[in-house]
Amino acid sequence: MTDENVLIVQADTAEGSLGWATLGERRWRCAVGAGGIREDKVEGDAATPVGEFPLRRIYYRNDLLVLPKPNSPKSALPARPIGEHDGWCDDPRSPSYNRLVHIPNEWSAEKMWREDGLYDLVVVVGYNDDPPEGEWGSAIFLHIARDDYAATQGCVAFARDDLMELLPLLSRETRLRVLSHSAAEEAPPPSDDDARAKQFEDFDEKDW
């Protein structure tokens, strides 16, 4: 698998929810979970899970968006329009946990048909779904970000135009890789030479 088949997501800082998503030579601004990026994700913590995951399928509002036909060269993932009674079960007690469901029903579920535009286009991430287990979290998607790139509830969110640009680059072989460390944590510590140079920068003749 080449880097062209791996969508890499990394937060700018450990405390923030802004990050970058990179696929090959291209990259896009994105938002991650308000709960940070965590290896020990659980249901309801608003965290984006660390790891590498497949991409399953696309859901979209066909009253608002026109997508290429499923399995065409421009859309290699299966695609299905979102219906007004579609939901995504987020109740670990349900036999349909982390699955698309018809709502209303007796279990807790997130509405897929939304008025805020965030789910006008959704790519389902294959997290805790083969099969769903425990309370490790559900409804991890790539979806549309708010205008201010506000933190998500655990998904990875993109500007609408960026997600539309990314969509034809995704295939059944593409995997999402969420890094546990932030870009800030990758910055190398200052060397001795850097420290000495900083001393000269701070030097003031008045100190003599």
Write out pLDDT tens, residues 106-123.
999 999 999 999 999 999
**Strand, coil or helix: what is 142?**
strand
* Residue ranges of E strands in 35-85: 37-38, 48-49, 51-60, 79-81
- Distance, in Å, from the CA atom of 191 to the CA atom of 69, rounded to the nearest integer, reads 54
pLDDT of 207 reads 47
Closest C-alpha to 90, from 70, 110, 113, 119: 110
pLDDT of 192 reads 59
Write out pLDDT tens, residues 81-100.
999 999 999 999 999 999 99
pLDDT of 174 reads 96
pLDDT of 76 reads 83
pLDDT of 30 reads 98
Residue ranges of the chain whose pLDDT lies below 50: 71-73, 200, 203, 205-208
Alpha helices per DSSP H over the chain: 160-166, 192-202
pLDDT of 203 reads 46
- Helical (H) or strand (E) element with 21: strand 18-23
User: 């299966």: which residue's tokens?
Assistant: 78
Contact 19, 30 (CB under 8 A): yes
Enumerate the domain spans of the chain. 3-207
28-38 burial, b for 16+ CB within 10 Å, e for fewer? bebbbbebbbb
- Distance, in Å, from the CA atom of 36 to the CA atom of 42, rounded to the nearest integer, reads 12
Superfamily of domain 3-207: L,D-transpeptidase catalytic domain-like (2.40.440.10)
**pTM for the full predicted model:** 0.87
